[in-house]
Amino acid sequence: MNEFGVDYKGFDNAISTVKTTQNDLELVKSDYDAAKKILSNDSYFMGDIADSLKIDVYPSFEKSFEAITKNLTTVSEYMGKVRDAYRLADKDSEDIMTSVGKISLINEDGLPISSLFGGRDLGYSTSIPAEIWQSGYVVTCYEEDGWHIGASYDPTAITPGSSQEAVHDAWVKGGAKYKDGIAVLNVDGTDCYLVATSSTFGDVGDVVNVNLDNGDTIPCVIADQKNSQDSNYTEYGHLTDNGTTNVLEFEVDTDTYRSNGYTNPTTSGWGLEWNSSSAVSSIDNYGSVI
C-alpha cells in the first residue's frame, strides 16, 4: 500500500480476475464453435431454423462475444496502467488519473458505450417522449471553407466569432477529418461526430452522447443549432412533411453525399451501421469543448 492508500495487491487481484474470466469465456467459445460446426453440417441439419441460426444468430453472437473480450482486455490493461501510475507518481491521485487517461468500452459495432475517469461530469440528460415519431437522420455538407447547403459548390461562410466558427476551427485544426463521410472532432480520445440539434439538447460546442433505443450510443459534438425561426422547428428537431421529426443532422463530406445520391446516412445504406429505425431515446450533455 502506498502513501495514497492504494492497495497494489487489489489491482493485481482484479486484473487476475479479469484474465480468469477471459479464459473461461474462451472455453465457452470453444464449445460454441464445436456446436456451430455440427449444426452447420447440412448432412445432419437442414431447414429454415438452421439457416436462420447461420444467417442471423451466429453473426450477432460472434460480434457480441468479440466486443466482450475486447472490453475485458481494455479493462485489464487500464487497471495495469493505473497501478503502475500510482507506483511511479509523486503527485496527487487526480493527476494520476489524468496521466493515465480514460477507458473506452465498445459495443458490438465497435462504437464507444461508456467511459470511466473521462474527466467530464454529466451535466444533464434530455429524454425524447415516445410519442415523438422519428424518421432517421438528415445532413448538411461541411467543408474546410464552410457549409455547402444542398451540396452546392458555393460555400456558405460561417459567422466570424460565433460558436459555430470555434467548433469549425477546432475541426480544421484537428485535420478536418471524416469518419464514414461524417465530420469528426476528437474529444478526450474519442472521435465525436459533428451534428446539429435543437437548443433543447445543448449549446454549440457541447459534447453529447446520443442514446438510441436499440442500445447504441453515438458520441457527438454540437456543431450547429437548428434555427428556431424555421417554420418546421420543434423543441426536438425539424418536423418533416409526413409528421416525423429529425432529431440529428450530421455534418457530412460533400463528395460522399453526392456519390450516394444525395441521400442521408443509414437510409441509403452508406456510412454508419446505426439502424435508421432506431429512434433517439435521450441525449446526455457533458458541457462545452470550445
Q: What does pLDDT average to over the chain? A: 80
**For residue 223, pLDDT beyond 70:** yes
Bridge partners of 141? 148, 252
What does the angle CA 152 – CA 153 – CA 156 come to, to the nearest 5 degrees? 75
Q: What is the pLDDT of residue 94?
A: 47
Domain boundaries, the chain: 8-108, 124-288
**pLDDT(61) > 70:** yes
- Which residues lie below 8 Å from residue 276, measured CB to CB, with a gap of 6+? 136, 137, 265, 266, 267
More confident residue, 176 or 75: 176
Q: What confidence category does residue 150 fall into, taking pLDDT thresholds of 50, 70 and 90?
A: confident
For residue 259, what pLDDT is reported?
A: 83
Q: Averaged over 215-240, what is the pLDDT?
A: 87
DSSP string, 95-111: HHHHHH--EEEE-TTS-
pLDDT on residue 13: 80
Query: Which band of pLDDT confidence, cut at 50, 70 and 90, is reported for residue 90?
Result: very low
CA distances from 13 to 46, 79, 171 (A): 47, 10, 42
Has residue 163 got a pLDDT over 90?
A: yes
Q: Does the structure show a pLDDT above 70 at 5?
A: no
Model confidence at 282: pLDDT above 70: yes
**Residues in Cβ contact with 119 at an 8 Å cutoff, skipping those fewer than 6 apart:** 97, 98, 102, 188
Q: Where residue 42 falls among pLDDT bands split at 50, 70, 90?
A: low
Residue 72 pLDDT: 84
pLDDT of 135 higher than 50: yes
Residue with more model confidence, 242 or 86 = 242
Q: How far is CA 191 from CA 100, 187, 251, in A?
A: 19, 6, 14
Rounded Cα–Cα distance for residues 283 and 247 (Å): 10
The reported pTM is 0.61
H/E stretch holding 14 reads: helix 8-39
Note the pLDDT of residue 70: 83
Under the banding of pLDDT at 50, 70 and 90, the label for residue 44 is low
Given 3-state DSSP classes, what are the helix, strand and coil percentages for the chain, each rounded to the nearest 5? 35, 25, 40
Angle at 142 (CA atoms; ends 187, 203), nearest 5 degrees: 50
- Residue type (1 letter), 150: G
